[in-house]
Each structure stands twice: as C-alpha cells, then as structure tokens.
Amino acid sequence: MFRGSSILLIVLLTAPSLATAETMSFAETAALLAKSCAADIETNCRGVNLDSNRLKECLSRNRDALSAPCAENYLKTFDAIQKRVAARTAVANACAREIVKLCAGSTKETSKSVPCLTTAQGVSARCIQAMGDAGYR
C-alpha cells in the first residue's frame, strides 16, 4: 500500500518535467538562426528572406563559407521549425478521443477543437503534451 502510493508520488513528481514541450518555440528557433547565422546571411544570402526553403538552400549552397556556429546550427533550426509544424498533425492522433467525446469535433479539423481542448476537463496527459509540442498551449 505504502509502496504503491510512493510510486504514485514519484510518478506525479516527475510528470510535470515529462510534460515540457519537446519542440522549440518559433521565437527560440528564429533567434538561434539569427544568432548563429546573421553575419553569414548578410554576407552570402543578402536578398534572401527568412524562408524555410530558399534560405536553407542558400546557406547549404554556401556551406564551405559558413561560420562554425552557422554551419553547426542552421540545419538544426530549420528542422526544429519543421518539427513544431509537424507536431500540429500529431494532435489529431494524440487527442482523438478528446476531440470527439469532449469537444464534439472531428479529427479532420483538429484546430477547430483546439480552443475547446485547452479548457476541457479530462484531457489526457498525452493530448496535453501533443498540444504543447504544437505550440497550441
């Protein structure tokens, strides 16, 4: 009995740290890109806007000329943006039960249910995590 409750306690204590987002916010990613590559962009990619295709292509094309921090981080930052965007699609799966049962919505139009999901009672930890990863919360 006692062991059971202490395990529960441990689970409860560690849960919040597990629930932190696994994706980076767009602001963080964009800041990292700017910090790592500002000089490289101004020198080698002048005239190219913050575009996940064109800027990535330009930096890749100039790979040999990039500063060390930029070479190390630029692909990571574009991947991080992609990951956060892709996390939106994962919400439909992680929150399928909640969307249908609690929000009377459809998993085909997940985002319509998102405002409801953030306030509904009885939303699973997995769903909450997925919404955090997508930046909905």
Handedness of CA 80, 84, 89, 95 (dihedral sign): positive
**Min. distance of Cβ 126 from another protein in angstroms?**
17
CA distance 89 to 66: 34
Structure tokens at 28: 């963080």
CA distance 118 to 114: 6
Residue of 66, 99, 103, 114 that binds another protein (CB under 8 A): 114
Residue of 1, 2, 46, 121 that binds another protein (CB under 8 A): 46
Which of residues 10 and 22 has its CB atom nearest to another protein in the complex? 22
The answer to whether 36 touches 71, Cβ cutoff 8 Å, is no
Q: Which residues make up the interface to another protein (CB under 8 A)?
A: 25-31, 33-34, 37-38, 41-42, 46-53, 81-82, 85-86, 88-89, 92, 108-112, 114-115, 117-118, 131, 134-137
